[in-house]
Amino acid sequence: MRKDSAKNNRVNGEVMRSLSGIIRELKDPRIGVMTSVTAVKVAPDLKTCKVYISVLGSEEECKSTLEGLNSAKGFIRRELALRVNLRNTPELTFVMDDSIRYGIDMSKKIDEVIRGSHDREEENV
């Protein structure tokens, strides 16, 4: 299976949906409530899978969520095997994805710049 094939994209989507559900059902207190799976990249040979996780919260919450997910890796993989019918159940690697936090920060900065330009226009009038 090629890296960008339609089949690989379908597998990525199905694994992402299943992992989102599994993570939402976990009862580990370390895993943050606002945890979401932003992307999944399953290797073409179905042996490995990178799971990109985003957590809205502090740095400490992100670290504890990553710890909780890594400790539950075996359970999550078993649940994934039950929900998704694949030849091999991939070995999971959780990676923190800061793109949502980065987007929120950039949006705040843009709002500040716009507010600042409006304030300067009002002073000139």
Convert the pLDDT of each residue in 26-37 to its tens digit.
998 999 888 989
The reported pLDDT for the residue numbered 14 is 93
Is the predicted pLDDT of residue 88 greater than 90, yes or no? no
The DSSP-derived string for the chain is --TT-HHHHHHHHHHHHHHHHHHHH---TTS-TTEEEEEEEE-TTSSEEEEEEEE-S-HHHHHHHHHHHHHTHHHHHHHHHHHS--SSPPEEEEEE--HHHHHHHHHHHHHHHHHHHHHHHHHH-
Task: Return the domain boundaries, the chain.
Answer: 6-97
Domain 6-97 class, CATH top level: alpha beta
